[in-house]
Amino acid sequence: MITERSKLSIVILLLLVTVAEQQAPKGKKRAVDPEAYLDACGITLLHGYACQEHSVLTKDGYILKMQRLSGKGRGRSEKAKIGQPVFLQHGLFRSSIDWLINRPDQSLAFLLADAGYDVWLGNVRGNTYSKQHVSLNPTMKRFWRFTFDQMAEYDLPAMVDYVLDFTNHSSLHYVGYSQGNLIGFACFSEAPDWAKDKIKSFHAFAPIAFLGNVKSAFASLRPFFWFLNWMLEQFGKEFLPKRKFVRWLGEKLCAGRAAFLCKNVLLLIGDYHPKSVNATRMPVYLAHSSDGTSTMNVAHFGQLLATRSMQKFDYGFEGNMKHYGQPEPPLYHPERNPVPTAMYCGSDDLMSDQLDVKRLSEQTRNLLGIYEYEGIHHLDFTWGLNVVSTVYAQFMQVLSAQCA
């Protein structure tokens, strides 16, 4: 149970970290597990799988990194035609490592590779793997002027088109987690003809689109909506950057009397059940627990919390007139999504609330099914060991049926 005092401490703490992260100590603590220091391909290769890293250029100049996995024994340079491509997209503050965070028999990317699928891991602008641009750099405010609007408009289409061009397939299966679902619903509803041709099925883990009933610590941002906008105007760059944040967190918060703050920060990033994770891998979870995004994107989530609607970024009256030609930000219309969609939901997910999922499902016209699981929290969908025989097993069955 997160008290109001804890929620307030989380918000203040995270805002201070974002502002002051440049003054964080430069020392590095040695983790027990070497995977805490490896990147996505490093982890993949460590377990004997082949991994390729690909660079994808968006129409507005961002350079995104994708990783491609193939099963053990397959060549790294092989243009695999082993099976249909499956594209996995991470959530907010996350990266492609989410799909590799546990052991191979417990991580979805490895399980899919073992099953013969052509596995592609996406990374949206602003995280560790996607901090390049043809003319901007991360020290510039302009680099960070984006939200999930731009991820849906530019990042997702660019990555999907790249995968299909590279593999010579006409369509792929899309798997989203948390924010990965939000950009999926936004993209597919804004470009339904494109989505109908190129996305064979959409699998939404911990689906979010509406945030009206969020109960996680992330809901703490709702009353601080005005402060987030002020933060955006004053600083407007990166929110929770990976290396400095994790270093500061590990050295200053995760020991002694302040340990409860460390737990609360992880709850803000996404709630999980302590008994569902591999306790011996906490250094790995912590090392990859936050991968940053733009302050503007966090402000956009704050707007969704405040308005309880699925809408584009609100720039204010003058900004909206400039960007949209109307005083209010346009709404997204998930009912325009033409892709066959399956939703996988946890009964104890405080971020993807059942009422919000119900609202979303009622607006999803091509619904394959809603699969609900008892005792599953938000981060369990990627961190949890309890999802392997439940969520992942069900997903594999649904995916196989859509591959026919």
Q: Any residues with CB less than 8 A from the CB of 86 and at least 6 apart, and which?
A: 112, 117, 118, 119, 120, 172, 173, 175, 399
Is-contact 183 176, C-beta < 8 A?
yes
Tell me, what amino acid is at 207? Answer: P
* Catalytic machinery residues: 178, 349, 378
Q: Is 207 left (phi over 0), alpha (psi -120 to 50) or beta?
A: beta
* Separate counts of helices (H) and strands (E) for the chain: 16, 11
**E-only strand ranges, 49-117:** 50-57, 62-70, 85-89
The encoded tokens of residue 233 equal 């105007």
Q: How far apart are CA 249 and CA 13, in angstroms?
A: 11
Q: How far apart are CA 341 and CA 326, in angstroms?
A: 31
Please give, one letter per residue, the 3-state secondary structure of 361-372: HHCCCCEEEEEE
**E-only strand ranges, 136-205:** 172-177, 199-205
Q: Which residues of 191-218 are buried (b: 16+ CB within 10 A; e: fewer)?
A: beeebeebbbbbbbbbbbbbbbbbebbb
